[in-house]
């Protein structure tokens, strides 16, 4: 249950630190595993908890976020929890209105159309005032986990958030957002800088609230080519890691491992490995051996089973997991999917995935 049984901040002792050890490059007995979107619509109990609530109202309720974060852990022996929230809470903190439209997804009522629209955004954001509900959810969940596994906090990265703010929702081409990069490079950098500054404070606030690791989602990296990624995404990704770490030091907060997940950015793997993150997340379109070759020995890799592999029969999932573990190696590695779980997936198959990672990695480590 999600209630404070301990004094705030006197967090329970962590019992399973496998995920954190792997993230830091230390040896582990088994390969840790968690799933992006593990708190999600594929679980009937999630749909039940969410049924009566508006999506963003759910995000603003620490109690509900806590409940949804814990649901997958009641079913599966996952090695980490990730706080239930959404990347679009950051544009909301900047003063933009986002609503969840059934069948369509998140929609901005007034997307950014002209450069002048940047003036409508809050130029100075007090993250505690605007996003304090996420911090409360993290603190409550960290207590309620009772030290079972570490809790991951997260944010969207600047380019991904910018693309939503201009497109007004999902898009297959991101043409409106990309046109800004070509037509208004200065204004684009102004917006990306504003986003990065809020994200830095937001991530530091999550650690202060109890997050034990952080993941930055550059989900729309694949819409950029190498040059645009180099100019409009990578500098901010680097800056966020550096600034978060120096602020954590300044505020005497724990230096938590950070994960960068830039979907479809194969061309940037080597740069991402040197961007200041302990872990580089991978989507399913890259070969494990190639990823290792490009990222070198000093980062942990996370990923990258095709989410659709979970539609396969359980035996097949076991075989695919074994192959993946053999390709990545069981150390300096965190098993995950190459993207999030889809709503129509069978929870039993998710369980089969988690168990296969533990069983096969233990077996490989013994022999």
Does residue 50 have an active-site annotation? yes
Q: Which residue in 17, 21, 37, 42 is the catalytic one?
A: 37
Q: Which residue in 86, 117, 238, 362 is the catalytic one?
A: 86
Token pair listed for 215: 């993941």
Residues in CB range of 256: below 8 A, 6 or more apart: 207, 211, 212, 213, 214, 248
Burial of 132: CB neighbours in 10 Å, binned 0-12, 13-18, 19+? middle
Does residue 75 have an active-site annotation? no
Does residue 37 have an active-site annotation? yes
Contact indicator for 57, 68 with CB cutoff of 8 Å: no
Q: Are strands 81-82 and 258-262 parallel, antiparallel or unpaired?
A: unpaired
Q: Which residue in 41, 75, 238, 362 is the catalytic one?
A: 41
CA distance 297 to 333: 11
**Chain length of the chain:** 367
Q: Which residue in 164, 202, 236, 333 is the catalytic one?
A: 164
Does residue 41 have an active-site annotation? yes
Q: Which residue in 50, 142, 148, 292 is the catalytic one?
A: 50
Report phi then psi at 316, rounded to 5.
-65, -40
Contact indicator for 240, 202 with CB cutoff of 8 Å: no
Side-chain half-sphere exposure of 12, counting CA atoms within 13 A:
19
Element (H, E) at 80: none
Instruction: Report, as residue numbers or ranges, the catalytic residues.
Output: 37, 41, 50, 86, 164
């Amino acid at each position: 249950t999600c209630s404070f049984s301990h004094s705030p901040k006197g967090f329970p002792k962590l019992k399973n630190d496998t995920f954190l050890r792997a993230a830091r490059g230390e040896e582990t007995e088994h390969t840790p595993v968690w799933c992006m979107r593990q708190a999600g619509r594929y679980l009937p109990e999630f749909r039940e908890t969410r049924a009566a609530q508006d999506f963003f109202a759910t995000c603003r309720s620490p109690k509900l976020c806590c409940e949804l974060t814990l649901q997958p852990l009641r079913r599966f022996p996952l090695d980490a929890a990730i706080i239930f929230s959404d990347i679009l809470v950051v544009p909301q903190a900047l003063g933009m209105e986002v609503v969840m439209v059934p069948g369509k997804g998140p929609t901005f009522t007034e997307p950014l159309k002209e450069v002048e629209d940047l003036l409508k955004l809050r130029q100075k954001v007090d993250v505690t005032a605007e996003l304090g509900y996420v911090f409360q959810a993290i603190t409550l969940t960290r207590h309620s986990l009772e030290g079972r596994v570490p809790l991951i906090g997260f944010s969207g990265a600047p380019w991904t958030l910018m693309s939503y703010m201009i497109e007004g929702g999902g898009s297959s081409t991101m043409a409106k957002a990309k046109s800004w990069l070509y037509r208004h490079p200065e204004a684009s950098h102004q917006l990306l800088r504003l986003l990065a500054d809020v994200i830095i404070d937001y991530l530091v606030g999550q650690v202060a609230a109890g997050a034990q690791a952080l993941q930055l989602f550059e989900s729309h990296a694949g819409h950029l080519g190498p040059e645009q990624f180099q100019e409009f995404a990578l500098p901010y990704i680097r800056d966020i890691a550096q600034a978060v770490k120096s602020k954590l030091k300044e505020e005497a907060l724990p230096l938590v491992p950070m994960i960068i997940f830039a979907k479809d950015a194969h061309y940037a793997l080597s740069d991402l490995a040197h961007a200041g993150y302990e872990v580089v997340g991978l989507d399913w379109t890259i070969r494990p051996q190639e990823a290792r070759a490009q990222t070198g020995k000093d980062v942990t890799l996370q990923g990258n089973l095709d989410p659709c592999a979970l539609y396969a029969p359980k035996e097949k999932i076991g075989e695919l997991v074994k192959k993946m573990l053999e390709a990545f190696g069981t150390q300096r590695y965190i098993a995950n999917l190459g993207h999030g779980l889809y709503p129509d997936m069978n929870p039993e198959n998710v369980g089969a995935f988690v168990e296969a990672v533990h069983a096969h990695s233990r077996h490989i480590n013994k022999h």
